[in-house]
Structure 1
Amino acid sequence: MNRIQEMIEHLHAGNLEDAMKIYAELKRTGTDDEKYEAAEALYSLGFQEKSIELYEDLIELYPEETELVMLKAEAHAELDQIEESMVLLEEINESSEFYSRAMLLSADLYQMQGLHEVSERKLLQAYEAEKNEEIIQFALAEFYIQQGRFLEAIRFYKMLSSEEIAGVLICKRLGECYSAGGSFEDALPYYEESLEHERDAETLFQYGFTASQAGHHSTASEVFEELIEVDAEYHSAYQLLAKSYEHEEQIDKALEAAEKGLKSDPFNKELFLTAGKLALKSGNEQKAEEYLRQAVAIDPDYLEAALVLNKILLRQEKPDDCLDVISTVRESGEDDPQFLWDAARAFEMREDFSQAFEEYKKAYVVYNDHSDFLEDYGKFLVEEGRQKEALEIYLKLTQKDPTNEVWQMNVEHLRHD
């Protein structure tokens, strides 16, 4: 067993003191080849500081060997010693066979610092030096997809002849690019190809989502069903499955999917909202109310759920419950103009007409061009004996729709009163 193998075995066994004794001996008396081999071994085992010391010894002896400079730069980069690494990389010029490798590492280091334009420039310099090198084409494609520049990413991914690089399926990346760029139909074949390699949860989700966006809701529902079988804890799949069934007008299946999701993820406010809306579509107002109350209980700021819930409560003539919902949401710091209209109707149901009038007046500022609101407000004003204000409202309504006979009749009555 040579000294390097002995040092490696000590490191694997955790005998650091014995390993460092051999390292010190190698550094002092080892041949150049032994130092090079030892430096590589130490780098791969995570002892980059020691590998740097050996590379420094070798660079003193062979200052023209840019490979040693490159290896030392990589070791500094592993230690997050970015400045030290960059200084070394600047020494490697276009005449070196390691130039492209140096540009790739430079690009990584600049990107880590958020200097994306410089990073791109370094990648393009590497590409100009070796246009047919797949690892450079891949690096550029990965850079562009991270920057959201999907057309440029597609261009470089399509240059690659390899199916997979660095554990990344190229067809899957192409699917991601087309989907993220809104070309959902173009993305589908690439996801289908990806699934031939592995039907994993992530790819199934991306394929299902893309199929849904492309309007292939039947395909999407099949894919999401499979995904849930693969991973029942993939919570976002239930929402999309419910939406896919809803698009197919299969409301019962959609509600079943949402309810199944809630068993797996009982604090998902979006899923409670979806379940509430689907229950409403299926004609079950009681179940809809329960789900929507749960959504608001989870998040009192959840305006959309509160607004849908209030529609049900007002239709069921539960004004106190409606006002409670408005109060809860407002106390959480949220508000919506619709609450003014809802509150006006709720106070009217409670026969608190003075308060209803105050809410209607505030709502009128927002909804003065909204026919449904104006009709509610006009009826209220007539019942309250406020003919002058009511006439003003109905005149506005008849201007919006002169063919509405009911509104015209109300104008005539109010003018004669």
Structure 2
Amino acid sequence: MDRVNKIINMLENGQHKEALNEYNVLLQSGMPDEKFLLSEELYQYGFLDEARALVENLLELFPEEGELLVLLGEILIEAGEEEEAILILEKISEHDANFGQSLLLLADLYQIQGLYEVCENKLLKAKEILPHEIIIDFALGELYSEQGEVRKAMTAYEKVVSEESEIAGINIHQRMADLLSASGVFEEALIYYDKALDEKLEINTLFGYAFTALQAGYNRTAIEKFNELKELDPEYHSLYLHLALAYEREGELDSSLSAIQEGIKQDEFNKELFFYGGKIAIKLGSLEEAEQYFREAIALDPGFTEAALTLNKLLFQQERYEDVIDLISALDITEDEEPQFLWDSALALEKLEEYSSALDKYESAYTFFKNNEAFLQDFGYFLIEEGKTDRAAEIFKQLLNNDPTNYEYLDLIERLTNSKQ
């Protein structure tokens, strides 16, 4: 195998032209075992075209050799030629020693294509041939997990962890915990997170544990685990928002805001942190600070509807109507996209005594809120103040249809009708 080693050494030393020359000689005149060994090496190094040429050359001599067909299938998969790979792998005979490996490769391909039933059939057939191969149980676990079949996935994973706690660098207990957590089975998930952490302290596992504890309502456990994660990796940005929520649920608002502030230091472009900081600041009575947080969130994303709506509510409470109009004008959100801004504009313009503009906004908002009682009340009373009694009567008749026993509406309609006489 000296020629194979020579070519590999040339590649490793950057002598690509010389290696190609030697490769072409071996492709034309090499022995089959040399070609096969070189094809495996080239495949590992990512020289897919060259490896494929060698394998196809060998298949001319050994057209039914399963090991060659499997290698060609792997090369085609790596090259993104999945359909061609399927055709090649399906050629392997059930009696070939490589049939089980071909089934595993085919299962992966069919799973990628979303053909889950075919994938499952291939894996179960492989399990019959290789009953002690736990990689097949792992593949079944992955398949069932993707399909949302939690219990079948757990059964498959249990077979794996009975022999190995890790496959291809994947902690199986963490896999089981993540699956249960995503399925809402939080209590059981925490058991598996404990097992995973006993095997290896890993930050993603720790985050999964803390997040699941938060979802399960174990806020103190979540706080403990998120803080442990923060000590291990303060740049794990996702933890801060959840840590703040856990503190808020425990009524520890100062700690919640501190977690937000720490998170912002780590991730100053996270609009959600600023937005949540604003909401906590309101609960603490720090309205100026809250406004600043909301404005920072909107500056990061002028289309951040929820932050803009929340800030608008704060501005209305402070009777800062011009600021409401200025904010809406600066947003990268059309009023059709979020019609609440039409309603807000109408209310603010009314307060600013810009009645003509307010009427336009009310009429535009009516399209979106004609079944909203609160809006119809605002619009109706505005119309009365503007002396538009016919239109006001129409609005209150609409309200009365939804609430026939409302004497206030009846009285208003009667007075509006009488005023015309």
Which interval holds the TM-score relative to the shorter structure?
0.7 to 0.9
Give how far 1:229 is off: 2.3
Deviation at 1:196, TM superposition (A): 2.1
- Counterpart residue type for residue 246 of structure 1: E
Q: Distance in 1 between matches of 2:395 and 2:28?
A: 97
Change (3 A) 1:3 1:323: closer
Report the counterpart of residue 211 of structure 2 in structure 1. 209
Deviation (angstroms), 1:245: 0.9
Letter in 1 for 2:225: V
- Contact 1:303/1:334, CA 8 A, preserved across alignment: no
The DSSP-based 3-state class of the residue aligned with 1:159 is: helix
Which piece of structure 1 moves more, 179-188 or 228-237? 228-237
1:158 aligned residue: 158
User: 1:82-138: CA deviations, max 9, x gaps?
Assistant: 455434322323233322111011222334455444333322322343343211111
Q: Residue 302 of structure 2: SS of its match in structure 1?
A: coil
Q: Output the TM-score relative to the length of structure 1.
A: 0.82
Q: How big is each residue's C-alpha offset from its partner over 1:323-365, in whole Å with a ceiling of 9 and x where there is no partner? A: 1222233755664343343223312321334544554565566
Q: Which runs of 5+ in 1 are unaligned?
A: none
Distance 1:339 1:78, change over 3 A: closer
What is the distance in 2 between the residues matched to 1:167 and 1:61? 38
Could you say which residue in structure 2 is the equivalent of 1:346?
348
Q: Is the Cα contact below 8 Å between 1:391 and 1:411 reproduced in 2?
A: no
Equivalent residues, number? 414
What residue is the counterpart of 1:172 in the other structure? Answer: 174
Choose the corresponding residue for 1:274, options 273, 276, 280. 276
Q: Secondary structure at the match of 1:132?
A: coil
Q: 1:5-404 residue pairs with structure 2 within 5 A?
A: 5-16=5-16, 17=18, 21=22, 24=25, 28=29, 30=31, 37-47=37-47, 65-113=65-113, 115-160=115-160, 161=162, 162-329=164-331, 332=334, 335-357=337-359, 359-360=361-362, 389=392
CA offsets per residue over residues 50-107 of structure 1, 9 Å max, x none?
A: 5556656666666665334434433444444545543432232323332211101122
Deviation at 1:46, TM superposition (A): 4.1
The residue type paired with residue 304 of structure 2 is: Y
| Cα distance change, pair 348–216 in 1 and its aligned pair in 2 (3 A) | same
Contact 1:254/1:278, CA 8 A, preserved across alignment: yes
Aligned mates of 1:401, 1:242 — CA distance in 2 = 46
Q: CA shift at 1:283, angstroms?
A: 0.5
Q: Is the 8 A contact 2:141 2:153 kept in 1?
A: yes
Larger deviation, residues 243-252 vs 92-101: 92-101
- AA paired with 1:132? H
Deviates more, 1:222-231 or 1:73-82: 73-82
Q: CA RMSD in A?
A: 3.9
Distance in structure 2 (CA, Å) of the matches to 1:68 and 1:377: 78
Aligned in 2, Cα 1:353/1:101: closer, same or farther, shift over 3 Å? Answer: same
Distance 1:354 1:159, change over 3 A: same
User: Contact 1:174/1:190 (CA < 8 Å) preserved in 2?
Assistant: yes
Q: Is the 8 A contact 1:123 1:140 kept in 2?
A: yes
Report if the CA contact (8 A) 1:381-1:390 is conserved: no
Distance 1:393 1:98, change over 3 A: same
* Pairwise CA distance, 1:146: 3.5
For structure 2, the 5+ residue unaligned runs are none
One-letter amino acid matched to 2:157: Y
Deviation readout 1:145-174 (Å, 9 max, x if unpaired):
344443332221122121111111110000
Change (3 A) 1:338 1:52: closer
**How big is the shift at 1:253?**
0.9
Of 321-330 and 369-378, deviating more is: 369-378
Partner SS state of residue 254, structure 2: helix
1:296–1:302: 8 Å Cα contact kept in structure 2? Answer: yes
Verify the 8 A CA contact 1:379 1:390 in the aligned structure 2: no
Range with bigger deviation, 144-153 or 96-105: 144-153
Q: Which whole-Å deviations, capped at 9, do the CAs of 1:178-228 have from their partners, x for residues lacking one?
A: 011111111111112222233322222222211111111111122222222
Q: 2: distance between equivalents of 1:130 and 1:395? A: 73
| Structure 1: distance between partners of 2:9 and 2:332 | 67
Q: Does 14-23 or 270-279 show the bigger shift?
A: 14-23
Larger mean CA deviation between 245-254 and 20-29 belongs to 20-29
Give secondary structure in 1 for the equivalent of 2:159: coil
Q: Distance in 2 between matches of 1:26 and 1:352?
A: 85
Q: Is the 8 A contact 2:376 2:395 kept in 1?
A: no
TM-score (norm 2): 0.81
| Matching residue's letter, 1:21 | E
Secondary structure, aligned partner of 1:226 = helix
Query: What's the CA shift for 1:369?
Result: 6.6
Q: Distance in 2 between matches of 1:232 and 1:121?
A: 45
- Please tell me whether the aligned partners of residues 368 and 374 of structure 1 are also in contact (alpha carbons under 8 angstroms): yes
- Quote the offset at 1:322 in angstroms: 0.5
Is contact 2:92-2:102 (8 Å) kept?
yes
